[in-house]
Chains A and B, each alone.
Chain A
């Protein structure tokens, strides 16, 4: 087997070398162009991911496909090795090539980045996790490429489906449906992907790429791969239907805004590009200049400046932040005096000199803050367009108990606001250069930059863990509108109404809360025909999972019913086919369970992978019988030997012929 590995390595050198060079070039380019830590910057990680995955795919494909010539394949297979060993030899060699071509440059970059003075940004060893996730993903694409190259495509799409399946797994590794702990999804998906494609490839090696003669686990893996690919296609089919039926993808987009005069308006941006702007009573908003109906461009001039806050008392923002690799570790702040400041997980502000790229200084405003504890709850904003040079170099920082003003130049921090006992700050931000707004569990307050109160009000939030807040500055002295809205999680269970903001509080500096308005609810996107049609293409199994998590969502329930109905139809069709082609009882039952879980995509995969033997008329009982059984399933007769035509010559082969010396 070692000889085979060596031969594979030698053959695939022609990919390793260019891959290594291209990748090294890419990394060097990023290294010299990077301003902050490349290991966590999405602009760097994006191309790296693309190169790794593409390289894996190409490597896998070309390791097998050129050898698919019938006789060259026979040359490979017919030697004293089991087909499993041949598969392992190819896989080991391929993975070695991948590690050398992709792994070595990445390792070099990690080593370089870990040394101080290379990048003007924080570094910790945990930052290796993002690339640590990208690197093995290439192995999933490698096995997918290997499988694609190996399979004998009976219909063109069966190879393409594997590509789509790999894409699906790649997307699942990155997308975060609510409720899953963010960190484990990627490794789990990668391992699942590798196991799936490797098992399918191993099975394909046993049967030389055909679907017949595959061992059971190989066949199951292939069916699962095709199902995953078909599912993604099915999900995308909704988009296709949408485009076919409506001609575009957009639907109406409705939101609320407020003018400088304090009039709340409802804006509907339609799918055809036009827009409708009305006030809350429904009458269209006139343009004060032209007296005609205001267009969107005109309206933008009338809108009051708004300052949104992400307010979070719980862990929602942590999950959100994990989506972006850089915000997992630090938040980028400001650059003052050629020192770039970051808020880090250690609970402090770290400044890096942009010329020497070394750590210049750290400021820890809140000594009581434990590392990582309040990292993401510390929100920063900077006063905009300040004339005051003092404010130019300062930053507003909110932790759970205080709002700080941190002077980055002088390295001094000042408490501007302290939450009352028992209360917790959820967020704060500056409002222009007029001051800042802070939101606690009970209060919303606005203070000026010296810490003096401008206005404050209490509020009622429907969701205790998180709310959306936006402060709009109206015309007139110290007049503001405060928008409040429930967070995404609350919307989830409410499938009819979709509320971004639900109420507006009018406040002023003199009188505090003036008035309150409740905003009407938006209708949620009504599911059209395309939506229901695409339900046919989605397997029931993932929908069952969503149903468990999203209790009471009747839309999902209906979707599941349609999908499951389709699955039952498929199971029945599969049962009928099984009887016609003489599957064993055990096989029938297993396939029926599979069809109930996998629906239409699984059924199509089943049709493509299963062997469908031809059927002939049995001369004895005159019924159609399958040709892959020795005995007729109806009457038990064996197949008739070939018709003789009188010219057969069969004579014993056992006569001896003496050979003399």
Chain B
């Protein structure tokens, strides 16, 4: 696994552990910390590192595989693969909707103005772009 990427899980959260793993991998792929052909630890190795049940890790990997983010190659390991476009544009937009609601709602609650929010989003995207460039 690339040295810059570490999965961390915490107990006692509303998010189940397997979901924390999938979210973090997904986030890492999206932000470029993980790129195609990077290797993830085996189920057992990750389980022992995180001190969680291997079945939990296995379920996370299964979900990621179903979404097309990772692939298990027999005898060699688990690798990031090209994220295939599984969703239609409309479906993708529909999936994004609640997250946008959450973001905007939270921002207004914190007294951000719409302009401030837009600035923050743009800054974040730039930051990710830079990180991707430096990682490549």
Taking Cβ atoms with an 8 Å cutoff, the residues of A that contact B are: 657-661
Partner of B77, one of A657, A658, A659, A661: A661
Q: How far is the CA of A657 from the CA of B53 in the complex (A)?
A: 12
Q: What 15 additional pairs, Cβ within 8 angstroms, besides A657-B58, A659-B58, A661-B42?
A: A657-B55, A657-B59, A658-B62, A659-B43, A659-B54, A659-B55, A660-B43, A660-B58, A660-B61, A660-B72, A660-B78, A661-B43, A661-B74, A661-B75, A661-B78
Q: Which of B71-90 contact A (CB under 8 A)?
A: 72, 74-75, 77-78
User: Residue on B with the closest CB to A657?
Assistant: B55
Q: B62's closest neighbor in chain A, by CB?
A: A658
Q: Which residues of B contact A660 (CB under 8 A)?
A: 42-43, 58, 61-62, 72, 78
- What bracket does the count of chain B residues touching chain A fall in? 10 to 19
Q: Which residues of A contact B55 (CB under 8 A)?
A: 657, 659
- Residue pairs across A and B with Cβ atoms less than 8 A apart, 24 shown, are A657-B55, A657-B58, A657-B59, A657-B62, A658-B58, A658-B62, A659-B43, A659-B54, A659-B55, A659-B58, A660-B42, A660-B43, A660-B58, A660-B61, A660-B62, A660-B72, A660-B78, A661-B42, A661-B43, A661-B72, A661-B74, A661-B75, A661-B77, A661-B78
Which of A657, A659, A660, A661 has the most CB atoms of chain B within a 10 A radius of its CB? A660
Give the distance to chain A from B15, nearest Cβ to Cβ, in Å. 19
**Smallest distance from the beta carbon of B79 to chain A beta carbons, Å?**
12
Collect the chain A residues with CB atoms within 8 Å of residue B75's CB.
661
Which of chain B's residues have a CB closer than 8 A to the CB of A659?
A: 43, 54-55, 58
- B61 CB contacts on chain A under 8 angstroms: 660
Interface digits, B28-65 against A, CB 8 Å rule (1 contact, 0 not)? 00000000000000110000000000110011011000
The residue in chain A whose Cβ has the minimal distance to the Cβ of B59 is A657
Give the docked Cα–Cα distance between A230 and B74 (Å): 77
Q: Please name the 9 residue pairs, one residue from A and one from B, whose CB atoms are nearest each other, closest first.
A: A660-B72, A659-B58, A657-B55, A660-B43, A660-B61, A659-B43, A657-B58, A657-B59, A661-B42
Contacts of A661 in B (CB 8 A): 42-43, 72, 74-75, 77-78
Q: How far is the CA of A658 from the CA of B75 in the complex (A)?
A: 15
Chain A residues within 8 Å of B72, by CB: 660-661
Q: CA–CA, A657 to B43, complex, Å?
A: 12
Would you give the shortest CB distance from B34 to chain A, in whole angstroms? 18
Least distance between B73 CB and chain A CB atoms (Å): 8
CB proximity of B92 to chain A, nearest CB, Å:
27
**Assembly CA distance A658 to B63 (angstroms):** 11
Please measure, in the bound complex, the distance between the C-alpha atom of A600 and the C-alpha atom of B61, giving whole angstroms. 74
A566 CA / B58 CA spacing, docked (Å): 74
Closest residue of B by beta carbon distance from A659: B58
Q: How far is the CB of B81 from chain A (nearest CB, A)?
A: 14
Chain A contacts for B58, CB-based, 8 A: 657-660
Q: A654 CB to closest chain B CB, in angstroms? A: 14
| B74 cross-chain contacts in A, Cβ below 8 A | 661
Closest approach, in angstroms, between the C-beta of B133 and any C-beta of chain A? 33
Nearest CB in chain B to that of A660: its residue:
B72
Assembly CA distance A53 to B42 (angstroms): 68
CB closest residue in chain A, given B77: A661
What distance in Å separates the Cβ of A659 from its nearest Cβ neighbour in chain B? Answer: 5
List B contacts of A658 (CB < 8 A): 58, 62
What CA separation (Å) do A659 and B47 show in the bound complex? 12
- Residue ID in chain A nearest B55 by CB atoms: A657
Q: For the complex, what is the distance from the CA of A111 to the CA of B12, rounded to whole Å?
A: 77
Which partner residue on chain A sits nearest B75 by CB separation? A661
A655 to chain B, nearest CB (A): 11
Hey, what's the 0/1 contact readout for B77-107 against A, CB within 8 Å counting as 1?
1100000000000000000000000000000
Closest A residue to B58 by CB, please name it. Answer: A659
A658 to B61 alpha-carbon distance, docked (Å): 10
**Minimum Cβ distance to chain A for residue B18 (Å):** 10
* Closest CB in chain A relative to B20 CB, distance in Å: 17
Residues of A within 8 A of B43 (CB): 659-661
Tell me the bound Cα distance from A657 to B59 in angstroms: 7
Task: Give the chain A neighbours of B42 by CB distance below 8 A.
Answer: 660-661
Q: How far is the CA of A79 from the CA of B16 in the complex (A)?
A: 39
Alpha-carbon distance A661/B54, docked complex (angstroms): 11
> What CA separation (Å) do A79 and B59 show in the bound complex?
37
Query: Least Cβ distance of A108 to chain B in Å?
Result: 64
CA distance A659 to B53 in the complex (A): 11
The distance in angstroms between the C-alpha atoms of A483 and B102, with both chains bound, is 124
How far apart sit A115 and B102, CA to CA, in the bound complex (Å)?
106
Q: How far is the CB of B54 from chain A (nearest CB, A)?
A: 6
Q: Give B52 Cβ to nearest chain A Cβ, in Å.
A: 13
Complex Cα spacing A657 to B74, Å: 17
